[in-house]
Amino acid sequence: MAYVLKTHRFGLLTPSSNTTQEPEFSAALPASVSLHTGRVSYREITPEEQDRCVLELEQESRKLADAEVDVVVFAATAPTLAKGKGYDRELIKRMEDASGRPATTAATAFVDALSLLGVTRIAIGAPWSKTMDKPMVEFMQASGFDVVHSEVVGFVASIELGRVGPETAYELGRRADRPDAEAIIMPGGNWASMPVVEKLERELGKPVLVNNAVSLWAGLRLLKTGIGIPGYGRLLRDHLAA
């Protein structure tokens, strides 16, 4: 096995029930970037669970700092926008204060990516329930985006979501699209959505931003690696290079 020097350490905070993010991040990260993971307790995709999981934010951020990671990314959408616009920034400060490292969240990454792409009108395809969709829509609207449509699948048990194949994300992306949407965003970190981004972008003719890809992109931007990653859509391919 050839030795590859690891020049950067990527710190990922993931829900405890998530079985998708570590494989997807590991597969996509440049060979010079190693992945290091902390986990916050989160089993059901409910308002109660998203409030509970952030209680462990400082503890898990400090643990990642013990590994001297270069960045901390809380890559879960719902918990990072649960209390409206600005809540993601509060969580970022808590992670940075605890770890002494730059940090970001999935919610922040969606906003930053859409802003960079110049998108103002979006459609949302989410794996969770309508109850969980309402805060997502309100957060994106408060962040300056016109949500022309939102579509959900209805998953509540996170572990069950982790068992579905990429065809579920593909079909939802197609259903969520509307002619006046300039981009499709697909939150939720525990389903295989990264493999279908390229296909959806080709067929729909617009950016498709999924949770794990935007979280990865945001963390790598903080690392300043400058290395584009092909195979997962235009955001990682075209908007990481220096």
Model pLDDT for residues 169-190, shown as the tens digit of each residue? 999 999 999 999 999 999 999 9
pLDDT at residue 226, as a whole number: 84
Other Cβ atoms closer than 10 A to 8? 18
For residue 214, give the nearest of 100, 117, 94, 144 by alpha carbon: 117
* pLDDT computed for residue 57 by the predictor: 97
What are the phi and psi torsion angles at 97 (to 5°)? Answer: -65, -40
| Domains annotated on the chain, with CATH | 8-108+213-238 (3.40.50.12500), 110-207 (3.40.50.12500)
Q: Is 165 left (phi over 0), alpha (psi -120 to 50) or beta?
A: beta
Structure tokens at 84: 């409206």
Which residue type sits at 185? Answer: I
Residue 4, Cβ density class (10 Å: 0-12 exposed, 13-18 middle, ≥19 buried):
exposed
Mean pLDDT, the chain, rounded, equals 95
Sign of CA dihedral 78, 43, 218, 165: negative
Q: Which strands form 8-15's sheet, in the order they lie side by side?
A: 33-40, 8-15, 71-74, 103-105
pLDDT in tens, 22-56: 999 999 999 999 999 999 999 888 889 889 999 99
Residues of the chain with pLDDT below 70 are 1, 242
Distance CA 155, CA 121 (A): 26
Residue labelled with tokens 């493999």 = 195
Q: CA torsion, points 130, 135, 141, 146, in degrees to nearest 10? A: -20
**Residue 29 has which token pair?**
């990260």
Whole-prediction pTM: 0.95
User: What are the DSSP calls for 154-183, one per residue?
Assistant: ---BHHHHTTS-HHHHHHHHHHH--TT-SE
Task: Please state, as a whole number, how many other Cβ atoms lie within 10 Å of the Cβ of residue 238.
Answer: 12
Q: Which amino acid is at 21?
A: Q
Can you spell out the DSSP letters for 18-33? Answer: --SHHHHHHHHS-TTE
Q: Are 65 and 99 in contact (CB under 8 A)?
A: yes
